[in-house]
Amino acid sequence: MGRQKGEAARSKARPSSSSLAASLLPSGTAAVGFGGFVGSSRLDSSFSSEDTVQFLDIDGEVAQHLKRLARKDPTTKLKALSSLSMLLQQKSGKEVVPIIPQWAFEYKRLLLDYNREVRRATHDTMTNLVTAVGRDLAPHLKSLMGPWWFSQFDPVSEVSQAAKRSLQAAFPAQEKRLDALILCTTEIFMHLEENLKLTPESMSDKAAALDELEDMHQQVISSSLLALATLLDILLCLQFERPGFENITAEPKHASKARATAISYAEKLFSTHKYFLDFLKSQSPAIRSATYSVIRSFVKNIPHAFNEGNMKTVAAAILGAFQEKDPACHSSMWDTMLLFSKRFPNSWTTLNIHKTVLNRFWHFLRNGCFGSQQVSYPALILFLDTMPPEAIVGEKFFLEFFQNLWAGRNQSYSLNADRVAFFLAFRECFLWGLQNASRWSSLSVS
């Protein structure tokens, strides 16, 4: 199984947030982000007398396998999970129900395991458990939903797919998965809030290497941010857009309360974490990309969170984001920047535009968008369209724009598709400039 190091070792097939969210919402609902990692600091593997009491109600063989899940080595955990899965398939629902409280305890801990095979096997076991207990899972759902939500966006594709299968096994209907999410909104936010406070030290496991702790901490933060972005998109779109709900005469039960809870928690997190801007300084591209996503969700769903007190700070970070050099972040960067500029056009007036935005933008273009040609070049015309005319000097701006865009062309030819993207963008932006010249000429006349 080996050890997987850092970002590069993570699967490039990490499921998209939109595809996972689509599986949660009723058919026809607009795609929104889905993901998240909910857990707590790594728990001590020793069992108290209270834990021993809990095991008294559990079948002896099952209890033994549950205890083995607390061992440090992945081989023992995998064997225990495999044995537990087989037993769960053989037992009746009534026999499995007493297992759930202790399983919930171990489940949260196993999802923090560095070994991807352990995490995958954990979800396979979860699938067998929920299949066995059926509706008897309901009284225990709130203790499980937080980490369950997290696991949907594990950076390793086969792990996240296993997590998705377990959730679908418990709630085959999309409407039921949405109901479960609404019912457990408070618990999910509590877990997310706890996760975002974690540090590698607070996750400390004496048996774990420091680089493993750093890697898992980055996963916790990035996945928690994605979970937050998704939760807002799903819960608040029920109020404002409600696509896919046209044939539903009444909104899901408790949806209004869940929205109020989501907004309250989100505002608290936005303030506590200083608009999430510190996460944009992370060395992890996954964290930075997730941060752009969560800010975009705030712009879309809770625009009142942006006010005179924070607009200048946030605008500098978002409109000045062209210093982001990792192409893995550019898709979410553009999505956030374009929506922010469109929603808050006056934010441009709070900045030294030449220093904060344009100088970085020219450098971005001269460097061929740092390798994200097929993402960034199509976004250029959209960016031009969101720029307030009063924010730039028309003729001077376009001269510098095309000069820098052309200067970056040699770095855009690694693939034929990059070359095509460059020339299409150049043509589109040139035609757009001609068609919209009146924007700046009218300003100069006035």
| pLDDT number for residue 392 | 82
| pLDDT number for residue 82 | 96
Which range, 41-55, 57-71, 115-129, 198-212, has the best average confidence (pLDDT)?
Answer: 115-129
| pLDDT number for residue 260 | 94
| pLDDT number for residue 59 | 75
Indicate whether 266 pLDDT > 50: yes
Average pLDDT, the chain: 84
| pLDDT number for residue 410 | 78
> Furthest-apart CA pair in the chain: how many Å?
86
Indicate whether 30 pLDDT > 70: no
With a pLDDT cut of 90, the percent of the chain lying above it is: 65
Angle, in degrees to the nearest 10, between helices 330-343 and 285-301: 20
The residue behind tokens 């679908």 is 168
| pLDDT number for residue 415 | 83
Q: Give the residue, 17 or 327, on which the prediction is more confident.
A: 327
pLDDT band at 446 (very low <50, low <70, confident <90, very high): very low
Indicate whether 166 pLDDT > 70: yes
The residue among 250, 229, 369 whose CA lies nearest residue 300 is 229
Tokens representing residue 422 in the block: 């460059």
Indicate whether 2 pLDDT > 70: no
With a pLDDT cut of 70, the percent of the chain lying above it is: 81
pLDDT band at 205 (very low <50, low <70, confident <90, very high): low
Q: What are phi and psi of 173, to 5 degrees?
A: -85, 140
Q: Give the residue, 56 or 278, on which the prediction is more confident.
A: 278
State how far the Cα of 57 lies from the Cα of 429, in Å rounded to an integer: 70
pLDDT, one tens digit per residue, over 211-258 is 889 999 999 999 999 989 999 999 998 644 443 444 444 567 788 899
State how far the Cα of 424 lies from the Cα of 60, in Å rounded to an integer: 67
Indicate whether 159 pLDDT > 60: yes
Indicate whether 280 pLDDT > 60: yes
* HEC letters along 194-205: HHCCCCCCCCCC
| pLDDT number for residue 395 | 84
| pLDDT number for residue 248 | 44
pLDDT, one tens digit per residue, over 337-377 is 999 999 999 999 999 999 999 999 999 999 999 999 999 99
| pLDDT number for residue 110 | 94
Indicate whether 12 pLDDT > 90: no
Q: Cβ of 437: how many Cβ atoms within 10 Å?
A: 13
pLDDT, one tens digit per residue, over 374-421 is 999 999 999 999 999 888 877 889 999 999 999 998 765 678 899 999
Indicate whether 163 pLDDT > 50: yes
Q: What is the total residue count of the chain? A: 446
